[in-house]
Amino acid sequence: MERVGAVLIDIDGVLTVSWKPLPGAVEAMERVREAGLPLALLTNTTSRTRSSIARLLVESGFPVTADDILTAPAATAAYLTEHFPGARCAVLNSGDIAEDLADVTLVDLFDPDARPDVVVVGGAGPEFGYEALNTAFAHLQRGARLLAMHRNLSWRTDAGLQLDAGAFLQGLERAAGVEAEVLGKPAGAFFEAALARLGADASRTLMVGDDIESDVLAAQRQGITGVLVRTGKYRPETHRAASGEPDHVVDSFADVPGLLA
């Protein structure tokens, strides 16, 4: 590839696990900053707003601001505003992201009179019980559109891998006979938005992630150079079974500054 001109970075599993910095990640981020490269943090995290994510990262020593962060909820809000203006949206999500959905008309998933136009699936948690999923299923049968902030099957915490929304999303799609529009990774539009924000050329941009399909190969399909790290949700068997091969594989984000030249 040409000399690196910008860097896109996943957060969970790459920079942090359960919001605790991975070894060498802060120092590596500082070296990327010292190189003068524009960067964006691309995350499918749906439990926190951009501002709260920035606060957590800054407290851990990362030199970032909220403006550096592009989240799946923020991308979803922008998509809804553009394509479904004024639509009534019921959100099934674990965590408070109302701040990033301020311009969206939100209705209660369980309100029998709400009749949402759109059902939005965010990140999984205790809220994803039978009653909630069955209620979302009922709305879809009545004609509501299905949007998803991402398709992640799992994510890594300090307690190990945990189920994520993608595991439930597939069931909703199959049962209702619909296909969700995905707004976060691996959607090409998510990467395009990041490139546009940075004014970056895909051929001179790195995408660093721990999810070989959603982070790395999805970015490579957009002409971005993919870097897979062996941290977070990385597993050798997933790597072997993937639909393609990353451009680069490194042990951790601490190794990324060595690729910048």
Residues β-bridged to residue 105: 88
Considering Cα of 133, then 136, then 142, then 145, what sign does the dihedral take?
A: negative
Residue count of the chain: 261
Give buried/exposed letters for 211-240 (b at 16+ CB in 10 A, else e): bbbbbbbbbbebebbbbbbebbbbeeeeee
| Amino acid identity, position 105 | T
d(CA 127, CA 92): 7
Question: What string of pLDDT tens digits covers the 261 residues of the chain?
Answer: 568 999 999 999 999 998 999 999 999 999 999 999 999 999 988 888 899 999 999 999 999 999 999 998 888 988 899 899 999 999 999 988 888 888 899 999 999 899 999 999 999 999 999 999 999 999 999 999 999 999 888 877 778 888 999 999 999 999 999 999 999 899 998 999 899 999 999 999 999 999 999 999 999 999 999 999 999 999 999 999 999 999 999 999 999 999 997
Q: pLDDT tens digits for 50-69?
A: 999 999 999 999 999 999 99
Q: pLDDT tens digits for 212-234?
A: 999 999 999 999 999 999 999 99
Give pLDDT, residue 1. Answer: 57
d(CA 190, CA 139): 26
Q: Are 249 and 33 in contact, with CB atoms under 8 Å apart?
A: no
pTM of the model: 0.80
Helix, strand, coil % (nearest 5) of the chain?
A: 35, 20, 40
**Which one, of 259, 257, 261, lies nearest residue 31 by Cα?**
257
DSSP H helices, the chain, are: 25-34, 50-59, 72-83, 130-141, 166-176, 188-198, 218-220, 236-240
For the chain, report the end-to-end CA distance as a whole number of angstroms.
10
Give pLDDT, residue 154. Answer: 86
φ and ψ of 121, to 5 deg? -100, 125
